Structure 1
Amino acid sequence: MEQRLAPAGQGEPTAGAGGQTAEEPQVNYSHRQVIEILIGLMLAMLTSMLTTSIVGTALPTIVGELGGQDRLSWVASATLLTMTASTPVWGKLSDVFGRKLLFQIALVVFICSSVAAGFANDMSWLIGARFFQGIGAGGLASLPQIILADVVAPRERGRYSGFIGAVFGVSTVAGPLLGGFLVDSPLGWRWCFFITVPVAVVAFVVIQRLLKLPQRPRGEARIDWWGATCVVGAASAVMLLLSLGGHEFAWNSAPSYALAAAAVLLTAGAVWAELRAADPILPPRLFRNSTFVLSSLASAAVGMSMFGVMIYFPQYLQIVQGLSPTESGLMTLPMVVGLLIASVTSGFLVSRTGKWKIYPALGTVLIGLGYLTLTRLEVASGLVLVGAGVALIGLGLGLSMQILILAVQNALPRADLASATSAITFFRNLGGAVGVAAFGSVMTNRLHEELDALAEKAERAGAPQGSMDLSGSASGSPEAIHALPPAAQDAVVQAFSDAMHTVFTLGLPIAAVAFVIVLFFRQVPLRSGQ
């Protein structure tokens, strides 16, 4: 006889659309069925996370074939923008129309847009396809967590959510390595988009055959369109400002001020709308729950730590250490392995003990130790020290990400499960965008300070004025930097090393803030039922 797992919310009245409550029929899943459903959810998350990370390595090749260097940043930003902004909407719509239907719609949107991106013949086509890819990826990033919460109770959920967390981290970190392999292979850059299609199709088939969630009572379904518009608009304005500010336009410029003003006005509009909506996208009552608020803040800090090291660590490897793109991708494996081990292990331990606070507390400490290790890197540092630093960060991320979501799901009633889970994912992605912008700004400013200081020092030593102006060279590719004359190359590499030291130092206070936030959590044992 197979063990039957009690679903979350057994026999509990749950809120349908419009705030009505009704008794939902329940489906009891065996352990084997949960594993099969989990595989489908993991495949879906794999595709959604790969699409945001795999394209980075291929961008130079894509631009070389399609042209449009001035719009290069939009290829990556379009997906990140729509994925982050749409996440809260997917969660709430699943409350109205059902998890399975919304999940399948997200998969179809993702599959169609991935095929379209793979067949792109100009940059406008590719950017448009990536825009819709992000919409589908937003659903695939949040709905698996919600569906898993529907299938099993919090106490049992830990051992399964650890695998989802591992897939999230592994696919995000390993994407650049796979992208580099595909670009260098006979398949070419278009397979960076095609490769996710069969995985998404398999996920669709698995979920269609195995997932049997109860039909949700709709009542008088009222969708908070005004609130959704303001929430998505505010998130989009913030993401555009963080993604394009300092690159496409200066921070101190009219576009920056316009986007900042739009973000403020739309946020105010969202607050006004959510306070008055009968069934809001982001229910204000969530923010009266201390666990939700603390988890949102901690998830944002963890997102900053993760995306910061993901984006800028390869630059250290390729420019300072002189590694190839494939070799730098391989150097992320310690981070991937650490994240995988920590995520799965902590999930099983949480399910066994019912206690969870220790894991994000230890995780944020490990993230801080990882960044502290990276601050010790120099031009001549060995790869063992490099690997140790990112392995510590990977362990810390694995102990933190999924446990924060699990804590929120355990602290809130079933009626708020979808909104809260989507919100935590939203804040983590938003924190990642803030981290990328902050780390990038710090690195750029420090890099130019170092190069200007080197130029001034050379002129005082008698070099012709302007002969050591290397600011332009520092913005080139790693190949271009390593092709410089030895003296200029050494100067640029040393400047990059010093700049990266400042970037890694910035990770320390972020990890410290996350640790302090976690300390304020109230340890609530995970329930065996809702």
Structure 2
Amino acid sequence: MTETAAAPGRSKEVMAVLPGLMLAIMLAMLDNMIVGTAMPRIVGELNGLEYFTWVTTAYVLGTTVSTPIWGKLGDLYGRKNIFMGSIVLFLVGSALCGMAGSSIFGGTGDGMVELIAFRALQGLGAGGLMVNVMAIIGDLVPPRERGQYQGIMAAIMSLAMIAGPLVGGFITDHLNWRWAFYVNLPLGGVALVWLLLRLHLPKYRTEHRIDWLGAGVLTVGITALVLITSWGGQAHGYPWGSWQIISLAVVAVVAIAVFIPIERRAAEPIMPLHVFGNRNFTLISLIGFLLGFAMFGAISFIPLFQQLVQGASATNSGLLLLPMMAAAMVVSLFVGRAITKTGKYRIYPVVGGAIMAVGMLLLGLQDAHTPSWQTGLFIAVLGLGMGFLMQTTMLIAQNSVEQKDLGVASSASTFFRSIGGSFGVSLFGAIFNNRLADNLAEKLGPQAAGAVSAGGGRMDPATLSHLPPQIKVPFLDALAGAIGNVFLWAIAFAVLVPVLAALVKHVPLRSGAPGESRQAEPAVAAVLD
């Protein structure tokens, strides 16, 4: 079957299911943004200030742990049913989150504990949304045509990151916080029905042997890693040298050491180690980790700079991210179409990594006097880099494996980026806190530094507005310097992205029907070391 003959049918089939896939991506991206905005109301009603970080940690933990498992289950049992199951689980978790602390469960007494448990359940479902969307596109579309559809998905992700805070702000201001979770139900319901009726995937016969032991050991290791990044050096956690963090590190190392021989002996390993024998797959996994580390770790400080240093409101801060997301959205669409037209992709992660490093440098040079419009230009540069990278890394990962391992490749790409982001947020948070304390000690004296270390987590624009000028001005200088230092540190990781991307070998993108590549392919074998 030639590409020309196949393309119209495939295009029609993909366009028929695309609205449902877009809704699933929106669900995955919107949820965290909306819930984050509603958290102050949730904490106030459920009286759970001391546990509020666990609401996020439980969700991240559920998502990260389940991502590799969803990918492998899709490879074994067929993508459609597994995808439907992940959506249903996510919606059940959303409904239960909305009911946490209600009279149905006996009132607000244990509401925060209930919410944490239900967020973990919701996260387990969310882990299957992103990975299955990308894998389904891989099932329907050959790599040569895949870029344009993955570019659309990357654009939807950017749009969701803009809309999330706005929707969350509206719900928080005009509705009950429970609607931050209930809003998922109609969106997810439409996606579920649409895909149930429209999604038709190729049928493959695979011997079903679930690697339960490998899945369990992997879950233990991932849990330890996520808890290290969530607790290490945090005010609500433990010092890096504490026995709790050291014990978790030991558990993570032992789990990884045990996991490798288990996977080598398993008939259907949850994470087939042979895919890492492919040079491109290994490189793109490292790039994904570094991309998550530098990009997501540092980006979390942009709203902090806009709100505390430049005085933007929480809602306006979301709008001020528009230049970054708009740039990422436009470039993602352009790159996707360019890859489909030319078949060339190797240059894009190199260019994207270089531009991202430049954006980090520009943001690192900001100070307390940097105007908002200038920050907008700098984050637009960062967005350009993101646009070159977001879908290209997934495309290279999928093109590096056989069709039977497509779910594993998609989940691994998502997993390494997520773990990288967790480590980035943790490390950059520690760097920020240390530099802020040093800057304050230099500008206001050791006592001020100690006071901020004890209560810095409660900094907000309202509090800053009541500070006398002789304290407020040096405080903002210290704060801006600490945030800028985070971006300068991020450059050290960002510059490695184009270096590793330059080592990626160009393997022609397959242009036949996806089902034709279930057998081992010469293009894949060409880069096996």
Q: Same fold (TM over 0.5)?
A: yes
Aligned pair in 2 of structure 1 residues 466, 6: CA closer, same or farther (>3 Å)? closer
Q: AA paired with 1:106?
A: S
Q: AA paired with 1:486?
A: P
In structure 2, the partner of 1:108 is 88
In structure 1, the partner of 2:107 is none
For 1:140-289, list aligned pairs within 5 A: 140-172=129-161, 174-184=163-173, 186-219=174-207, 221-247=208-234, 248-289=237-278
Shift of 1:469: 4.7
Matched-pair contact (CA < 8 Å) for 1:354–1:527 = no
In structure 2, the partner of 1:12 is none
Q: AA paired with 2:212?
A: W
In structure 2, the partner of 1:40 is 20
The answer to whether the aligner puts 1:429 opposite 2:409 as a matched pair is no
- Name structure 2 gaps, 5 residues minimum: 102-110, 518-529
Q: Percent identity?
A: 39
1:314-363, Cα deviation, whole Å (9 max, x unpaired):
11111111111011111111111011101111000000000001111111
Q: AA paired with 2:470?
A: A
Residue 475 (structure 1) aligned to one of 457, 475, 495: 457
CA separation in 1, counterparts of 2:239 and 2:5?
A: 55
TM-score, normalization by structure 2? 0.90
Aligned pair in 2 of structure 1 residues 101, 455: CA closer, same or farther (>3 Å)? same
- Name structure 1 gaps, 5 residues minimum: 8-27, 458-464
TM-score, normalization by structure 1? 0.90
For 1:372-411, list aligned pairs within 5 A: 372-411=361-400
Matched-pair contact (CA < 8 Å) for 2:226–2:422 = yes
In structure 1, the partner of 2:108 is none
Matched-pair contact (CA < 8 Å) for 1:79–1:133 = yes
Which structure has the highest helix share of the two? 2
CA separation in 1, counterparts of 2:281 and 2:10?
A: 30
CA separation in 1, counterparts of 2:500 and 2:172?
A: 42
The answer to whether the aligner puts 1:415 opposite 2:404 as a matched pair is yes
In structure 2, the partner of 1:25 is none
Q: AA paired with 2:181?
A: F
Aligned pair in 2 of structure 1 residues 39, 306: CA closer, same or farther (>3 Å)? farther
Counterpart of 1:274 in 2: which secondary structure?
helix
Aligned pair in 2 of structure 1 residues 411, 475: CA closer, same or farther (>3 Å)? closer
Q: AA paired with 1:395?
A: L
CA separation in 2, counterparts of 1:473 and 1:268?
A: 40
Q: AA paired with 1:474?
A: G
In structure 2, the partner of 1:99 is 79
The answer to whether the aligner puts 1:499 opposite 2:482 as a matched pair is yes
Aligned pair in 2 of structure 1 residues 287, 160: CA closer, same or farther (>3 Å)? same
Counterpart of 2:152 in 1: which secondary structure?
helix
Name segments (4+ residues, structure 1) moved above 6 Å.
465-468
The answer to whether the aligner puts 1:524 opposite 2:507 as a matched pair is yes
In structure 1, the partner of 2:106 is none
CA separation in 1, counterparts of 2:465 and 2:486?
A: 22
For 1:445-464, list aligned pairs within 5 A: 445-456=434-445
For 1:313-332, list aligned pairs within 5 A: 313-332=302-321
CA separation in 1, counterparts of 2:420 and 2:449?
A: 41
Matched-pair contact (CA < 8 Å) for 1:182–1:188 = yes
Matched-pair contact (CA < 8 Å) for 1:52–1:172 = no
Q: How many residues align?
A: 499
CA separation in 2, counterparts of 1:520 and 1:4?
A: 32
Range with greater deviation from structure 2 (54-63 or 124-133): 54-63
CA separation in 2, counterparts of 1:258 and 1:183?
A: 39
Matched-pair contact (CA < 8 Å) for 1:481–1:492 = no
CA separation in 2, counterparts of 1:360 and 1:156?
A: 18
1:243-296, Cα deviation, whole Å (9 max, x unpaired):
121221111111101111110111111112101111101111011001100110
Superposition CA RMSD, Å: 1.9
CA separation in 1, counterparts of 2:324 and 2:224?
A: 32
Range with greater deviation from structure 2 (174-183 or 265-274): 174-183
CA separation in 1, counterparts of 2:137 and 2:268?
A: 23
